Copies of this chain bind each other. A is one copy, B any other.
Amino acid sequence: MYYIGIDVGGMSIKAGVADINGNVLHKTTIVTRGNYDAEYTISNDIHKLIVKLLDEANIPEEKIAAVGIGQAGSIDSERGIINYWNNIPMKNVHVVEELKKWHKMPVFIDNDANVAALGECVFGAAKGLRNVMLVTLGTGVGSGIIIDGKIYRGEYGAGAEAGHMRIVMNGEPCTCGGRGCWEAYASVSALIRQTKAAMEKHPESMMCSIAAEMGEVNGITSFKAARAGDKAALEVVARYIEYVGTGLVSLQNIFRPQIFLIGGGISKEGEFLTDRLEKFVQNGMFDKETGDPVKIRPAALHNDAGILGAAALAIESVK
Contact = CB atoms under 8 A, between A and B. Distances in A.
A210 to B, nearest CB: 28
Contacts of A253: 159, 161-162, 164-165
B165 A74 contact: no
Given A152-B147, A158-B290, A287-B158, A165 B84 contact: no
Contacts of A251: 254
Contacts of A242: 169
A155 B258 contact: yes
Contacts of A154: 131, 254-257
A246 interface: yes
B164 A166 contact: no
A25 interface: no
Interface residues of A, number: 49
Contact of A287 (B74, B147, B169, B258): B74
A60 interface: no
A83 interface: yes
A291 interface: yes
A149 interface: no
A277 to B, nearest CB: 15
A135 to B, nearest CB: 12
A160 interface: yes
Given A178-B286, A286-B161, A292 B155 contact: yes
A161 B284 CA distance: 13
Given A152-B147, A154-B131, A169-B167, A290 B256 contact: no
B178 A250 contact: no
B258 A290 contact: no
A162 B286 contact: no
Contact of A284 (B178, B243, B284): B178
A24 to B, nearest CB: 32
Interface string A187-211: 0000000000000000000000000
Contacts of A290: 74, 76, 83-84, 156-158
A18 interface: no
Interface-central residue, A258, A287, A291, by most chain B CB under 10 Å: A287
A62 interface: no
Interface-central residue, A147, A152, A166, A180, by most chain B CB under 10 Å: A166
Interface in A197-250: 242-243, 246-247, 249-250
Given A156-B256, A158-B256, A160-B254, 18 more contacts: A74-B290, A76-B290, A83-B289, A84-B290, A154-B254, A155-B292, A156-B292, A159-B256, A161-B254, A164-B249, A164-B253, A164-B286, A167-B167, A168-B169, A169-B243, A176-B286, A178-B286, A180-B246
